[in-house]
Structure 1
Amino acid sequence: MKPPRVAFLFLGETLLIPHLYPIVEALAAEAPDLDIECWVATSVHEGLLSGWLSDAGLAARVRLRRVPGFLDLPALTHGENPPLPAKLPMLARLAGYLLRVDAVICAEQTSLWLPRLLPFLRRRFIKAAHGAGSMMARSDPRRRAAHHLLVPAAREKGRLVDVGVPSERIVVVGYVKAGFRGLAHPPRLFADDRPVIVYAPHWQRHRSSWWAWGRQIVDMLAQQGRLNVILAPHQRLVEKAPEVREVLAAVAHLPHLHTDLDSFAMVDGSYMGAADLYLGDTSSQVVEFLMRPRPCVFLNPERVDWRATDDHDFWACGEVVDRLDALPEALARARAEHPRYQAEQRGFATDALGDASPEAAHRAARAVIAALK
């Protein structure tokens, strides 16, 4: 009798990889008899996964497979976010292959068009959550097309139930990305031991501080000498604001600044793990930062009445600045003021992420095994 076949879909942006790959390694450990394959959309995905599988001694155990329309991008060698094959044609051509597997695990929404449009595939699909926090699109009808959803925390399960997802199809596993190598082993980026601040503006204009204040904040951080600075905006900001590349390039030579718009470190958790102070607006990266409570300052250039909404709850975890000229003083006092926010930060991280340990990936793997049965 052939062992069950499990397919992981690595078809979207590289930011999705850390939310899915830890389950591959955990599943290989939890169920040595399974036939595991990883479908990849580009040579960037293939290069990253092949390196990690080799390091984990799984190169012969887990098969890498190229999707129809696979893109070979030899110029991209550092884990850059690559262009992707046209999604819907690629999924249509992939459907026949997935009929021959017993479970399909994905982290991105687009792949869920397959079970939504082809109901006979639904029992195979398992959706792993990516990201965490209050700004997730929970009402997307594609979510209901997956037979099981793996979510980080009970709060997230409750919110999905509120929008109509049956409770029995939602499994709370913890924050899978917590066990990924970037968060677990942050790099040393600077020669000295000055505190490190990370500025991570969101990529969507209506949620971001970049368009109103971004250039001035970069100039301010470049001119000061008290803090080392990581300038690592959301991976997709450069798509919407291409001028960000020029702005960061103008200061990249400074020894106390580390700038990045392209490498895999943008999404693997490295910068959230390496920073001592978070400066941002509404990016969900702050949730990962708060896995280890540290000072935060939030930017509100539009002067949103954030206490009256449900999607800015993490702004209770630090000082909120609604005037640019107030920012230097807010940064200067952030470390001294941190004790007043610590309890809120711990409670928020627990509510949003659940168990933020490597065990989350193994819990997700066991949920996949249970679904196969």
Structure 2
Amino acid sequence: MDRKHKIAFIFLDEIHHIYHFVSIAVELSKQNEVQILTYPGKHDLLHKALEKLNGTNVIVEKLQTSLFRAFTDKLKNRKLPRKGFWIKKHQNYILTNFDAVVFSDYYHHYLLRARGENSRPKFIKLFHGPPGRGYSYNKELLDFDFQILYSQFHSEQLKEKKVLVKNWTISGYPKLDVIKFKDVKPLFSNERTTVLYNPHFEPALSSWHSMGLEILEFFFNSKKYNLIFAPHINLFNKLGGDDASRIPEKFFNAENIHIDLGSEKSVDMTYVNEADMYLGDVSSQVFEFIINPRPCVFLNSHKIKFKKDINYRFWHCGKVVNNAEKLPKALKKAPKRFDKKHRKIQEIMNLENFYFEKGSTASQRAAVAITEYLDKNL
């Protein structure tokens, strides 16, 4: 290493992004100057994660959006600042004070335009979830100078889709460096099978908008299943556009249903670890679920022709049904189908999704690769 690099992580997202970057930030801070640039707020989970990882070297810098934008955000009850306005206010500070800027989402283009032809700072891309649908192969990936990938399969897919940049590395899945499974009190004090229902937030992809309440009703009346309803954290905010008040109170009060619309447990794999079976549509969370292979059922509410579509790769991990009427039969047969067919498929996908290496963690490997890249290219 030639010198300490100044590296900024931009965090303007919901909490589900934190575990995808925080451990890399901590590892980088052992040899570099690392700041997480974010908006004002408590950021309880972020600070908790840094404390857990002994990330005392990482500086969390809270930057306010303009007073006018902050006022209008408050009027509109926005929890997060509008990214474009926040970045525009702070772009000169970011572009002149850091050697590299790390993103886990796609709001980099505001800074990309401002950087122009300059080669500094370098833009580094982290992914928030294994590749599993079109979002994973966004053409904007080509805007980045360096990409941190999860596996050889990941790199092959990006190359095939022509979105792999010249400089990249395979590190593994850093979220697994933060999440340490521990014994927790079970949600349900019965012997029923526990199903995790995790619908996406976008209406064009989600099963929730067309059959969600019907699914909750099925589990409400079931004597065989418990249900953890933990949808994508954006389903009931401005991105998802749905209103949680549409969910009847009886579902919140049911003894065999647990509803979590966005707590820390909905993003830290607590429910993934507890459930016996997975029920969902297009979330890459299923790849976290099958790290410990178990039965899955998928809801194809939009009747997608998916069998040869890489964007629906995860649907090969279980039975796919087109409507809620077929759900009871699919759930009943899922364990037998799993033993006969889907366990092997899930095991293969695990090997494809996540690179492991003895003697180091994914976060350590990513930090070393970033540092070496900056040493060479700055």
Interval of TM-score (by shorter of Structure 1 and Structure 2) = 0.7 to 0.9
Indicate yes or no: 2:197 matched with 1:204: no
Which amino acid is the alignment partner of residue 350 of structure 2? A
Structure 1 unaligned blocks of 5 or more: 74-80
Which amino acid is the alignment partner of residue 226 of structure 2? N
Partner of residue 299, structure 1:
299
Aligned counterparts, 1:233-312, within 5 A:
233-239=231-237, 240-247=240-247, 249-312=249-312
Q: In the TM superposition, what is the alpha-carbon distance from 1:278 to its structure 2 partner?
A: 0.2
SS at match of 1:184: coil
Report the CA distance shift for 1:100/1:68 in structure 2 as closer, same or farther (over 3 A): same
In the alignment, the residues of structure 1 paired with residue 87 and residue 154 of structure 2 have an alpha-carbon distance, to the nearest angstrom, of 28
Which amino acid is the alignment partner of residue 159 of structure 1? Q
Q: 1:37 aligns with which of 35, 38, 43?
A: 35
Would the aligned equivalents of 2:129 and 2:284 in 1 still touch at CA under 8 Å? yes
In the alignment, the residues of structure 1 paired with residue 236 and residue 174 of structure 2 have an alpha-carbon distance, to the nearest angstrom, of 27
Would the aligned equivalents of 2:45 and 2:264 in 1 still touch at CA under 8 Å? no
Q: In the TM superposition, what is the alpha-carbon distance from 1:5 to its structure 2 partner?
A: 1.8
Partner of residue 367, structure 2:
365
Would the aligned equivalents of 1:113 and 1:142 in 2 still touch at CA under 8 Å? no
Greater shift in the superposed pair: 172-181 or 354-363:
354-363
In the alignment, the residues of structure 2 paired with residue 16 and residue 105 of structure 1 have an alpha-carbon distance, to the nearest angstrom, of 12
Report the CA distance shift for 1:121/1:250 in structure 2 as closer, same or farther (over 3 A): farther
TM-score w.r.t. length of structure 1: 0.87
Q: In the TM superposition, what is the alpha-carbon distance from 1:135 to its structure 2 partner?
A: 0.9
Would the aligned equivalents of 1:68 and 1:94 in 2 still touch at CA under 8 Å? no
Report the CA distance shift for 1:296/1:68 in structure 2 as closer, same or farther (over 3 A): same
In the alignment, the residues of structure 2 paired with residue 132 and residue 149 of structure 1 have an alpha-carbon distance, to the nearest angstrom, of 13
Q: 1:124 aligns with which of 122, 143, 146?
A: 122
Report the CA distance shift for 1:58/1:324 in structure 2 as closer, same or farther (over 3 A): closer
In the alignment, the residues of structure 1 paired with residue 191 and residue 206 of structure 2 have an alpha-carbon distance, to the nearest angstrom, of 30
In the alignment, the residues of structure 1 paired with residue 60 and residue 309 of structure 2 have an alpha-carbon distance, to the nearest angstrom, of 44
Would the aligned equivalents of 2:91 and 2:114 in 1 still touch at CA under 8 Å? no
Indicate yes or no: 2:216 matched with 1:218: yes
Indicate yes or no: 2:337 matched with 1:332: no
Partner of residue 7, structure 2:
6
SS at match of 1:168: coil
Report the CA distance shift for 1:190/1:304 in structure 2 as closer, same or farther (over 3 A): same
In the alignment, the residues of structure 2 paired with residue 244 and residue 362 of structure 1 have an alpha-carbon distance, to the nearest angstrom, of 40
Give the % identical residues. 27
Q: In the TM superposition, what is the alpha-carbon distance from 1:215 to its structure 2 partner?
A: 0.9
Indicate yes or no: 2:197 matched with 1:229: no
Q: In the TM superposition, what is the alpha-carbon distance from 1:198 to its structure 2 partner?
A: 0.3
Would the aligned equivalents of 2:196 and 2:277 in 1 still touch at CA under 8 Å? yes
SS at match of 2:253: coil
Indicate yes or no: 2:50 matched with 1:53: yes
Partner of residue 101, structure 1:
98
Report the CA distance shift for 1:5/1:350 in structure 2 as closer, same or farther (over 3 A): same
Report the CA distance shift for 1:2/1:327 in structure 2 as closer, same or farther (over 3 A): closer
Q: In the TM superposition, what is the alpha-carbon distance from 1:221 to its structure 2 partner?
A: 0.7
In the alignment, the residues of structure 2 paired with residue 145 and residue 326 of structure 1 have an alpha-carbon distance, to the nearest angstrom, of 43
In the alignment, the residues of structure 1 paired with residue 176 and residue 248 of structure 2 have an alpha-carbon distance, to the nearest angstrom, of 29
Aligned residues: 359
Partner of residue 91, structure 1:
87
Greater shift in the superposed pair: 220-229 or 61-70:
61-70
Partner of residue 78, structure 1:
none
SS at match of 1:306: coil
Partner of residue 23, structure 1:
24
In the alignment, the residues of structure 2 paired with residue 219 and residue 280 of structure 1 have an alpha-carbon distance, to the nearest angstrom, of 16
Structure 2 unaligned blocks of 5 or more: 71-76
Per-residue Cα deviation, 1:11-49 (whole angstroms, up to 9, x for no partner)? 222221111112123334xxx34222111224143x322
Would the aligned equivalents of 1:106 and 1:126 in 2 still touch at CA under 8 Å? yes
Report the CA distance shift for 1:9/1:370 in structure 2 as closer, same or farther (over 3 A): same
Report the CA distance shift for 1:148/1:10 in structure 2 as closer, same or farther (over 3 A): same
